[in-house]
Amino acid sequence: MQQRDKLYEQFLENPRFVQWAIGQAPEDDGYWESLVKNDPIGQEVLEQARLTILAIQGRPETLSKQDIQDRVQQVLSRAKHQEALTRPKIIQVQYPVFYRWVVAASIVLLLGLCWFTYTQYTKQYSTHQVGKTNSPSDLSVQSDQLISIANTDRPAMHVLLPDGSSVVLRKNSRVRYARVFVGAKREVYMSGEAFFEVTKEPRKPFFVYANGLVTKVLGTSFTIKAHQKAEQVIVVVRTGKVAVFAQTDPKANVLQNNLELTGMVLMPNQQATYERTDARLTRTEVKTPNVHPSFDFKATPIATVFSSLEKAYGVSIVFDREVMANCSLSATLGDEPLQKKLQWICTILEATYQVSGQQITINGKPCQ
């Protein structure tokens, strides 16, 4: 336990780790992943430290040791005060540092201890079409084993993938994927335009196949434009980094079967353009990539927060406006999928949510 505590504090006090945790050093992905590559406990502590940093200050620039100590004292004092109000007797327990931090991060983010529940999609969207299709030769599973979702008439449609990743399908776009991601890869096939927020699984790369171009990621957000009749396929990176390569590349099998991001690697605000006629790839800088809105909230009314999510993901969010009229949110929601965003928000509000197709129902209570 002491070793876990020490590692946890080392992560939190490391400026380089803080910069990476808040998304300002995506080039360090490989460094931190390799650091805990063969250490399950280290992987768990690293992820908890990353979430703690985001929970405490949203997206801090630095987090000194004194900052950490001050924040711990602040939240523990608040926890003791809250406990005194709810219990006739106070039983003092000395928790290990690691668990004090979990409590601390929760209190700062949640404004009190709370529970949240959520339900996975139990049914696919009514627009799902499962059946044999004319599939490209690169499919690693039979086409009749794929779920196919098409957005024919809406500006945006949200799709939840089996690993929790989000796909926002634009109008006249389609995505196909297996019911369960098995084996060493997560594979998706698409046409049209879609924005991806991929759940991080460094040991299980995520692949998108689109009109001859392969996009490989470990966990990040990006947009792909790959309309069937278009001469180009375009990939624009919002956060993290991705690798792209042509399916006809002589090294395609090698590039797909390792855990590293190799090929043409794109960083945030970079774009790859694939010319389909001659399988040519070029990389350019994009000053203001209009791929997806950001979610930086400061005492923002919850109705405005939900409206922003509705527009970005093409969903409908139902909640009691009277009950939650005084609720607001101060948080920075990054490139995590919609499901994660809902978990964070509902935890903060001491609320729960349920998903049914493109409708999300929030059950909350009044905010002081």
pLDDT tens sequence across 18-38: 877 777 777 777 788 878 777
Please tell me the predicted confidence (pLDDT) of residue 327: 92
49's enclosing H/E stretch is helix 40-57
Q: What is the pLDDT of residues 107-160, one digit of tens each?
A: 444 433 333 333 333 333 333 333 333 333 334 445 557 899 999 999 999 999
Burial class (CB in 10 A: 0-12, 13-18, 19+), 278: exposed
| Both structure tokens of 118 | 């959520």
Q: Of 276, 213, 211, 277, which is closest to residue 242 (Cα–Cα)? A: 213
320: which DSSP letter?
-
Residue 178 CA: distances (Å) to CA of 146, 182, 183, 224, 343: 5, 9, 11, 19, 25
Give the separation between CA 201 and CA 188, rounded to whole angstroms: 15
Give the separation between CA 209 and CA 138, rounded to whole angstroms: 9
Q: Is the pLDDT of residue 40 over 50?
A: yes
Q: What is the pLDDT of residues 68-119, one digit of tens each?
A: 555 544 444 444 444 444 443 333 334 444 544 554 454 444 433 333 333 3
Give the separation between CA 30 and CA 44, rounded to whole angstroms: 16
Please tell me the predicted confidence (pLDDT) of residue 194: 95
| Both structure tokens of 335 | 């490139």
Q: Is the pLDDT of residue 273 over 90?
A: yes
Question: What is the arithmetic mean of pLDDT over 301-327?
Answer: 93
101's enclosing H/E stretch is helix 97-110
What is the pTM for the complete model shown?
A: 0.61
Please tell me the predicted confidence (pLDDT) of residue 70: 53
Q: Is the pLDDT of residue 162 over 80?
A: yes
CB atoms within 10 A of CB 287: 5
Give the separation between CA 59 and CA 224, rounded to whole angstroms: 27
21: which DSSP letter?
H
Please tell me the predicted confidence (pLDDT) of residue 289: 61
